[in-house]
Amino acid sequence: MTVTEVIFYFIAAATVLGAFGVVATGRVAYAALSLVFTLLAVAALYILLASEFLALVQVLLYAGGVAVLLLFALMLTRARELVPVLDGAQKPFAVVAGLSLMGVLISMVFLTTWPRRADEPTLINFNAIGDRLFRDFALPFEVASLVLLVALVGSIVLARIEEEEEE
Amino acid sequence: MGMEQAWLIPAIPAAAAGILILFGKYLPRKGDWLSVLAIGTSFVLFFFVLHDLTDALARGGEFTAVHSGREWVRIGSFNLRIGFQVDQLAAVMLAVVSFISLMVQVYSLGYMKGDKRYGWYFAVQSLFAAAMLTLVLADNFLLLYFAWEGVGLCSFLLIGHYHERRSAAEAAKKAFITTRLGDVGLLIGAILLYRSVGTFDMSTIFDAARSGQIDHAYLTAAVLLILLGAMGKSAQFPFHVWLPDAMEGPTPVSALIHAATMVVAGVYLVARTMPLFQVVDGTLVAVTAVGLITTFMSATMGLVMTDIKRVVAYSTLNSLGLMFIALGAGSVTVALLYVFTHAFFKALLFLASGSVYHATDELEVTQMGGLAKKMPVTAAVFTLGAMSMAGLVPLAGFWNKDELLLSTFENHNIFVYLAVLVSVLITALYMTRLVLLVFTGKPRNEHVYEHAREPGPAMKLPLVLLGVLTVFAGFVVFDGVGHLMGFPGGFGEFLFTHEPEAFRINAGVTASSIVLVLVGIAGGFYFWGGAAERAKAVGEAVPQVYSLLRNKFYMDDAYQWVIDRVVLVVAGVVYWYDRVIVNDTGVNGTADATRFGGFLLKFHETGLMPNYALLMTVGVVVLAVVAFIVGT
Amino acid sequence: MIRLESFLVLSAILFSLGVYGVLARRHAVLILMSVELMLNAASINMVAFAAYTSPERFTGVIFAIFIITVAAAEVGLALAIVLRLFRNRTTANVDEVHQLKW
């Protein structure tokens, strides 16, 4: 077992643990913190996969932006009861469904023959990513910007307190 | 303009009918002039066609009917023509139909004035004439059937012209349904012939029948079915019930139906398909039997009816029965002579009784009497028509009755001959009775008497014209007269049969006919002269017979019984089946089951998104497993 | 040398946990978090495939970038929707919102 592998298993364990915390904890705040933890662990995985840029984006956007947004949402929608029940009535079925889905997915992974690679992954430098993004994926990039614009406008329209509501 | 253009004769009134139905109400006078003009043009065109025909005949040799027309539909080997043929039989019918239609329409100008549906009336009149002219000229069974139904439709519309009156609506329905029973026979007969010969073309079918190509049983069935169609249209027993009720229509319509268009269609059909009847033994006997029964029933009923138009209607039935007897004797010539002469005096009788009704608004003869003083012209022409109907020498009716007697004398057994003689006597009796009751004696109803007056010129002109023709039309039996009137070699020579029959006079037959007619007229005077005391006495002496006749042999009641107990019961079962099985169970049941199923199933929609998400996940897992199992 | 399967199994576990969270949780924001887990699982898949099958083209990395972009947009919109829901019904629990039925 090489050092890389040890590091991978360590990170993988952290990821799963964090994810488990997100879905299993009884406190909303713990769930949010677990999510941040998981996201950071995933960023570490990206570094293992030689994608520095992605790891950077993950930390900045996800762990920074998205997680903070979710925390805001939690604060703004505080539940009425003192000790809120976070899980719904169909939890047992959800356990079965989740486990069976996991079984299906993992068995698929092992039943398929995957390509193998001898050398270590080479680092993807920033220039190459920029090159590829703006040369080959220019149109999706523009569309994505449009999606963001629409989401921005939509969020404002939805969240704004309308005038008749104030009365 | 020759025989090839004969299609114009029905086409012009048909076009007029189309224009009148679509634009009639925008035309001046609601377009009545267009209708009269159209039929008048047809009548004139007829003379061109006749001229061409006589030319062709004069050239000698074997004359075959001239065909014209065009293909209408072709589906594979099935070929449908709008085909017309002109031969002698068609020419005689054309003369009758176009002339009587013209006379009736001219008369209607006066009679129908101020009617609510004046324009509509003339539109249908045109259509009626067009249909009948097509019927006469058709050279294949399908076009003939088409026109046949057209005639039925128009008679329905015209009989029901005053459809606000329930009795008129009922009468129209009765006429339509009763004739429809026969029409189905004609249609099936024509289809049977098509199946065995492969064409609707008449001359081809006749040739095939003569050469024995058609299976005998098949042919017999077809001929009897065609006879059924003819019986329905010509109001022969047992379909005769619709004709007296058809009096509910305007009187000119009655004249048209009785003299020219509707009822003679049956006679024409039998005459046209005579080659088929001659091939199959026994069918002509059936024709004779039908004619005899009709003649007997109508003649006896005519004795007791008190509605002026109904009496005339029964006399038509009487005449139609006699025409069928003539056809049964295989004598197309005599039957057509009868149609030809009968048209004039029957139209005359109806138009004259129409004048009476127009002036007095009364149809019951028990309310009339003494009208001759107030309307002498009408009385004169009516008497003329009635005496012609009775067969008095030398009016038109005499000659055809004489020829009929002669042909039955020579072609049938003595029983038929005697029966016809009896009918001659009875006809003379009740026609005399009618004239006496309406026009002579003391006025029975002052109100009616005061209103009686002569009709206007539009109505008087056809009356006088027809009156003159009633006197002279019979003379066509003499070869010379027939020749002068445009039928080369006389009427008998002109009309086609295999061996042209010349009209002959048999002294014994003629004498007995004349004597019987005179006896009948004298009997009429004896029984119904003055206050008709003796007739009443006879009626009271045999009350059962009297009520039997008054109730039309209970035929209507029998039909009503059948309709109530059989038709309506069957219809009720069918209705129940349709309502309960087809509609409630089949249609509504499916809908209700779907709706109830939907009602039950809708509760699985919880509205909770987690439930939906769970089911989606389960679905994905199941699909993955299934794909895995199937894939390996 | 880490095998590709390791990444895929990790991704599968992460995804299944996300699905479980979506199904079991009743608070809308927690459900959103679970969705984020699923998105991350998909991203890991993409990047792993990119690194192991075509490192010179790294299309999977580009995909991951787009996934992050869309996730940001989605969270923004979802936050607005949750706020509106909470303002209208004073709850953010999805099992208390079930008017959309017969």
Which residue reads 């030809």 in tokens?
A: B340
Tell me the residue length of chain B. 632
- Specify the DSSP element, H or E, that contains B298: helix B283-302
Instruction: Kindly state the percentage of chain A with pLDDT values over 90.
Output: 41
For the cut 70, the answer to whether the pLDDT of residue A79 exceeds it is no
Closest to B175 in 3D by CA, of B248, B78, B112, B107: B248
Instruction: Kindly state the percentage of chain B with pLDDT values over 90.
Output: 9
Say whether residue A114 is in contact with chain C using an 8 A CB cutoff. Answer: yes
- What are the pLDDT digits (tens) for B71-125? 777 887 777 778 888 887 888 888 888 888 888 888 888 888 888 888 888 999 9
pLDDT of residue C102: 67
The reply to whether residue B617 touches residue C100, judged by beta carbons under 8 angstroms, is no
Sign of the CA dihedral B161, B167, B170, B171?
A: negative
Which comes out higher in pLDDT, residue B305 or B582?
B582
pLDDT of residue B499: 44
pLDDT of residue A142: 93
pLDDT of residue B480: 59
Highest mean pLDDT pick, A38-52, B109-123, B449-463: A38-52
For the cut 90, the answer to whether the pLDDT of residue C40 exceeds it is yes
Size of interface A-C (CB pairs under 8 A): 246
Q: Rounded to an integer, what distance in angstroms lies between the CA atom of residue B94 and that of residue B50?
A: 9
User: Do residues B39 and B101 lie in contact, with contact meaning Cβ atoms separated by under 8 Å?
Assistant: yes
For the cut 80, the answer to whether the pLDDT of residue B55 exceeds it is no
Q: Rounded to an integer, what distance in angstroms lies between the CA atom of residue C33 and that of residue C21?
A: 8
Tell me the residue length of chain A. 167
pLDDT of residue B502: 55
The reply to whether residue C102 touches residue B605, judged by beta carbons under 8 angstroms, is yes
Sign of the CA dihedral B585, B590, B595, B597?
A: positive
CA A110 to chain B, closest CA, distance in angstroms equals 13
Q: Could you tell me the CA-to-CA distances from A132 to A125, A141, B433 in Å, in that order?
A: 11, 11, 119
For the cut 80, the answer to whether the pLDDT of residue B311 exceeds it is yes
Question: Rg for chain A (alpha carbons), in Å?
Answer: 21
pLDDT of residue B63: 65
For the cut 60, the answer to whether the pLDDT of residue B137 exceeds it is yes
Say whether residue A134 is in contact with chain C using an 8 A CB cutoff. Answer: no
> Residues B218-246: what's their mean pLDDT?
87
- What are the pLDDT digits (tens) for B375-423? 888 888 888 888 888 887 778 788 778 878 887 877 767 888 888 888 8
pLDDT of residue B496: 46
> Residues B290-295: what's their mean pLDDT?
89
Say whether residue C85 is in contact with chain B using an 8 A CB cutoff. Answer: no
- What are the pLDDT digits (tens) for A121-140? 778 888 888 898 898 999 99
The amino acid at residue B520 is G
Say whether residue B629 is in contact with chain C using an 8 A CB cutoff. Answer: no
pLDDT of residue B500: 44
**Minimal Cβ distance to A89: which of C62, C75, C95:** C95
Say whether residue C88 is in contact with chain A using an 8 A CB cutoff. Answer: no
Expressed in angstroms, the distance from the first to the final Cα of chain A is 68
- What are the pLDDT digits (tens) for C70-90? 988 998 898 888 888 888 888
Tell me the residue length of chain C. 102
Cβ count near B512 (within 10 Å): 16
Which comes out higher in pLDDT, residue B315 or B451?
B315
Specify which residues B66 forms β-bridges with: B86
The reply to whether residue A35 touches residue C33, judged by beta carbons under 8 angstroms, is yes
Could you tell me where the DSSP H helices lie in B369-413?
A: 376-390, 396-411
Cβ count near C24 (within 10 Å): 26
CA C24 to chain B, closest CA, distance in angstroms equals 8
Say whether residue B538 is in contact with chain A using an 8 A CB cutoff. Answer: no
Measured between CA atoms, the residue of chain B closest to residue C98 is: B607
What tokens appear for A164 in the block?
A: 């008749």
The reply to whether residue C29 touches residue A74, judged by beta carbons under 8 angstroms, is yes
Which comes out higher in pLDDT, residue B506 or B575?
B575
Which residue reads 């190459």 in tokens?
A: A128
For the cut 50, the answer to whether the pLDDT of residue B356 exceeds it is yes
Confidence class of residue B484 from pLDDT cuts 50, 70 and 90?
low
Confidence class of residue B461 from pLDDT cuts 50, 70 and 90?
confident
pLDDT of residue B378: 85
**Strands B66-75 and B78-86, how do they pair?**
antiparallel
| B622 contacts on A by Cβ (under 8 Å) | none
- What are the pLDDT digits (tens) for B520-557? 888 888 887 766 677 777 777 778 877 877 777 787 78
The complex's ipTM works out to 0.90
Closest to B438 in 3D by CA, of B359, B549, B538: B359
Could you tell me where the DSSP H helices lie in B412-554?
A: 414-439, 446-451, 457-472, 479-484, 490-494, 507-528, 533-541, 543-550
- CA A28 to the chain's CA centroid: 17
Q: Which residues of C56-90 are buried (b: 16+ CB within 10 A; e: fewer)?
A: eebebbbbbbbbbbebbbbbbbbbbbbbebbeeee
Q: Rounded to an integer, what distance in angstroms lies between the CA atom of residue B424 and that of residue B401?
A: 8
pLDDT of residue C7: 92
- What are the pLDDT digits (tens) for B493-504? 555 443 445 566
Cβ count near A74 (within 10 Å): 22
What tokens appear for B366 in the block?
A: 């028990």
B91-100, B310-319, B485-494, C68-77: least confidently modelled range:
B485-494
For the cut 70, the answer to whether the pLDDT of residue B611 exceeds it is yes
Measured between CA atoms, the residue of chain B closest to residue A87 is: B610
Say whether residue A151 is in contact with chain B using an 8 A CB cutoff. Answer: no
The reply to whether residue B621 touches residue A104, judged by beta carbons under 8 angstroms, is yes
User: Do residues B89 and B496 lie in contact, with contact meaning Cβ atoms separated by under 8 Å?
Assistant: yes
B-contacting residues of A 74-93, CB under 8 Å?
A: 88, 90, 93
CA B594 to chain A, closest CA, distance in angstroms equals 31
What's chain B's average pLDDT? Answer: 83
